Amino acid sequence: MSDEGEWQTQTSKKNQWHNQSNDDSSNNHKSNKAQKSKTEDETTAIPDQVKQYLTSFQKLLSSQSGSDEYRGDELLSYYDSQFNKISEKYFTTTTWPSEKAVAPLVDNDELFLTLYNQLATRHLVTKHTSKVTYKLRAQSYGTYESFFDSVSYGEVNFDLPSQWLWDIMDEFIYYFQSFSQYRQKRLSAQQQPSDAASLEELEQLKQDKVWSLRGVLDILENLINKSKIRSTLQNKEPLSTSGSKHVLQTLGYFSLIGLLRVNSLVGDYYGALQAVDCIEDMYKVEGSVHHRVLACHATLFYYVGYAYLVMRRYNDAVRCLASILNYLNRNKQIYNKSYQYDNMIRLSEQCYALLAIALTLYPQRVDPNVRNTLREMYGEKMRRMQRSLLSNNGTNDAFAIIEELLRFACPKFISPHLPSNGDFVKLQIKTFVHEAKQQKHCANMKSYLKLYSTISLDKLADQLETDSDTFRQNLTCLKHKSRQVVRAEDQSDHHGVVDSANAVGGPLSGDLANASDAEFYVEGDVVRVADFKPYKHYGEWFIYNIHKFENIIENLEK
Amino acid sequence: MSKQPIKIGNFQYQPSDATSKYDAAVIAPLEKHVQEQLTNDGTYDKEANLFLLKLYQFHPQKASLDVIKKVLILALTNGSQTNDFTLSLYLIHEKNQSEEGVSQLIKLYDLLEACQFDKFWELRATASEVLKSLPSFDNNILFAGVLAITYQEADKAVIMKALNFNDTKSFDEFVNSHNEFFRGTQDNTVRFALNSYNQILPKKVPQNIKFERKTNYLLRNNLHFYRGFRYWKELKI
């Protein structure tokens, strides 16, 4: 317990917000008797089962620090499923009791109260959206800032499950996102508020003190630097799995993904991929940190997939998105009961939409399961896009659908300009569609080329109803646009077996290659086209049948 | 933040006091870095340039249209394959994108990406008034590279037009000095150097099965399987 005491003093010294929010009851209790009795009432009003839950939760957590026996699973059940159960039973219409009310139950355990505060805030934000106020948001920023500060300065002596740490980071970014939207809405409102309180709030929003983009980026960078996670990953040193070092390293790792997210949100896709470029084992299933937490795994792949799409690396985008969709399909039981369920469902829908765009612009082979679901969800839209792209006079229908899909599937962008003028989201989508339009002839050209092995340029131009000069340009354009950066396939595909010697580098790595299934060249006035036979995947086929026969033999032996 | 050197791409900067790399103080040295890239060939640094555009977003009042145009020109001439120009556009405020010089550059970029090279040169000539203040840029080499992945052989006139050459002599010189793209000229045809794009190579079908996975089966099954796998590995089907 002495460790916790230390933690407490240092945190409260460091942060004003924290002080005010947590220690109100102890600091002001003489001058503010009325409030104290109110808090007492609140404490006694807590149902017994909740009291019991809180005290045993706190005991378990405090027994973690310094002890060898780590009961992560038990802790996780208190944190996730039991919390949900009690929320459903007692707090469907109200919020969880305030920290002050809980404090006497748990011996004023500072660490527990900070974590409890985060949990209660999450419950409030997800279930009682209307009760979220500016003050609450500002307070929670203070809580996070001081929490991350004490972690990065090594002032903590406790351990939390990775899942929990991810949630802390995830919510940190999520609150930042929603605060930015709130700020933008308030600042762009025409009407000046009349009452003093809202005026003051507006003034504070203008000053951009809490949840500022700069502040969030600095917190993330600081965690990354302090945890030395980049060099640890580059030197392939093992990450520690328990103790306070685990907390720091894991939070450093999640900060990389946080940086990926924030950079994507402000439109810097190169910076986004660069943030996670030290994660070389993205596709590795066993042993990688992101894989320990499903939501983290999914977030990483979604943002990387989106960045690939924007960078015109369609092969990589399809591979990345299909991989995560396949994974989510197969592991439904993990997130079925978690409060992350809705998020995961939405995320996978967004991934399917992105996949539909990528596959329309660059048709290619994709995992059969993923393809089937994709057909169910976006089959009709994909057909419409294809039809429009394959017509000679190219209507804009396809791009209208791409825009619609993108609007649904893109990250929730945050305009870095403050106050925002001009719609940042519109800019992001417009730029993507602009780029897609440059290749509007490609699909149609490919479909014609597939019919021939050798054909004169003029003849084919005739069929496409263009003159030969334009046709030449379009051929060159098809070649030019098909030359894309492709990340080498390491052997660690999503089947899970990995050979570290074959690592191919981070998500940014890759070489230029012909990424389309069309192979042709021009010789004088003749186009020569390679066979369009699809790849035969003998290996997969063999393994599939080996499995099948093994099953038959097993059944016979029974 | 401590007094640490700031490193972005090939750009290094030692701040005089504690600054984070997102501070406005980093803008001026980064702008100088852009200028250096324009004067020295082969020093293109997209990481630093994109970061500068991001800083402009954070400090919109410090954004310089002149430098934005320079960054775009660098992306236009160096970063076509990696989509750098579009990546830059995601970071440039709409208001700045509609400025005349920038919008001309975007048009040039569209023509380049659509491979309408002759129109590119036309616009380059007529837009010179707007782009006058900017350093000259030369896309011959970039275009030659794109043509070289499409053609094995082509009519000389077509290629000359695409690369903006008027007289045969200087074109022949260009061809001879770039043998990474060309094999040479003959009468009225230009012959391009062979590369992996402009010829049809036998396909290698990747079989993404790990050796461990194979051994898995190998251990589980008997000798017959082992023989089978040996054939399989040798044949590399």
Min Cα separation B233/chain A (Å): 11
- State how far residue A86 is from chain B, nearest Cα, in angstroms: 43
Question: Is A475 within 8 Å of B150 when comparing Cβ atoms?
Answer: yes
> Which of the four pLDDT bands, split at 50, 70 and 90, describes residue A159?
confident
**CB–CB contact A479 B158 (8 Å):** no
d(CA A469, CA A448): 17
Assembly ipTM: 0.83
Interface test with A, best of B23, B84, B90 (most A CBs within 10 A): B90
Residue with the bigger pLDDT between B224 and A143: it is A143
- E strands, A257-403, are none
Mutation target to probe the B interface, by most B beta carbons within 10 A, among A470, A542, A552, A554 is: A542
Candidates A221, A521, A543; nearest CB to B151: A521
Among chain B residues, the shortest Cα distance to A522 is held by B151
pLDDT tens figures, A333-348: 777 777 678 888 999 9
Local structure of A350: helix, strand or coil: helix
Q: What is the pLDDT of residue A12?
A: 37
Which token pair is B167? 């007289």
State the amino acid at position B23 in one-letter form.
D
Mean pLDDT of A164-174: 89
State percent of chain A over pLDDT 70. Answer: 83
pLDDT score, position A393:
61
Round to whole Å and give the CA distance between A343 and A503: 31
Q: What angle do CA A50, A51, A53 make, to 5 degrees?
A: 60
CB A465 within 8 A of CB A392: yes
Give, as one character, the DSSP assignment of residue A104.
G
Q: Please state the rounded mean pLDDT for residues A367-389.
A: 89
* pLDDT at A301 (0 to 100): 93
Place of tokens 């149609």: A444
Kindly indicate the confidence band of residue A18, based on its pLDDT and cuts at 50, 70 and 90: very low
The more confidently predicted of residues A492 and A312 is A312
- Tell me the average pLDDT across A359-382: 88
- B131 or A481: which leads in pLDDT: A481
- Would you kindly state where each structural domain of chain B is located, as residue ranges? 6-138
Share of chain A above pLDDT 90, in %: 16
Q: Is A339 exposed, middle or buried (0-12, 13-18, 19+ CB in 10 A)?
A: middle
d(CA A274, CA A265): 14
pLDDT on residue A501: 40
Name the nearest CA neighbour of A264 among A485, A438, A424.
Answer: A424
Asked if A428 lies within 8 A of B90 by C-beta distance, the reply is yes
- pLDDT tens for each residue of A207-250: 777 888 888 998 999 899 888 888 888 887 777 777 778 888 88
Q: Give the pLDDT band of residue A193 (cuts 50, 70, 90).
A: low
Residue type, B100: E
Residue A528, min C-alpha distance to chain B (Å):
9
Interval A41-78: pLDDT, tens? 767 777 888 888 888 888 877 776 555 455 667 777 77
- d(CA A165, CA A223) in angstroms, rounded, equals 13
Tokens 């690369």 correspond to what residue? B163
With a cut of 80, say whether residue A534 has pLDDT above it: no
Assigned CATH topology for domain B6-138: 1.25.40
Give residue B136's identity as a one-letter amino acid code: S
Task: Write b or e for each residue in A256-295: b if 16 or more Cβ atoms lie within 10 A of its Cβ, otherwise e.
Answer: bbbbbbbbbbbbbbbbbbbbbbbbbbbbbbeebbbbbbbb
Listed by number, the residues of chain A in 137-156 with a beta carbon closer than 8 Å to a beta carbon of chain B are none
Which residues, listed in sequence order, are joined to residue A112 by a DSSP beta bridge? none
Look over chain A and give the mean of its residue pLDDT values, rounded to a whole number. 79
Mean pLDDT, consecutive 10-residue stretches, chain B (237 aa), reads: 72 77 88 88 88 91 90 86 91 88 90 89 78 65 87 90 87 88 87 87 61 56 56 58
Report how far Cα B52 is from the mean position of its chain's Cα atoms.
18
**Pairing verdict, β A526-529 and B11-13:** unpaired
Instruction: Please give the residue of chain A at the shortest CA–CA distance from B200.
Output: A530
- Does the CB of A74 have a partner CB in chain B at under 8 Å? no
* More confident of the two residues A366 and A6: A366
How does residue A101 score in pLDDT terms, banded at 50, 70 and 90? confident
Q: Do B54 and A271 touch (CB under 8 A)?
A: yes
Quote the pLDDT of residue B207. 57
pLDDT for A500: 40
Mutate: best of B44, B86, B108, B189, partner A, most A CBs <10 A: B86
Which tens digit of pLDDT belongs to each residue from A272-294?
A: 999 998 888 778 766 677 777 88
Across residues A465-493, what is the average pLDDT? 81
In degrees, rounded to 5, the angle at the alpha carbon of residue B7 between the alpha carbons of residues B3 and B9 is 175
A267 touching chain B per CB within 8 A: yes
The bridge status of strand A511-514 relative to strand A483-486 is antiparallel
Radius of gyration of chain B (CA): 25
Mean pLDDT throughout A144-148?
87
From residue A522, alpha-carbon distances to A385, B74, B120 in Å are 29, 30, 22
Inter-chain residue contact B110 with A438, CB threshold 8 Å: yes
Q: How far apart are CA A552 and CA B195, in angstroms?
A: 49
Give residue B122's pLDDT: 87
- Is the predicted pLDDT of residue A27 greater than 50, yes or no? no
The answer to whether residue B233 neighbours chain A at the CB level (below 8 Å) is no
Helices A341-361 and A314-330 meet at what angle, rounded to 10? 150
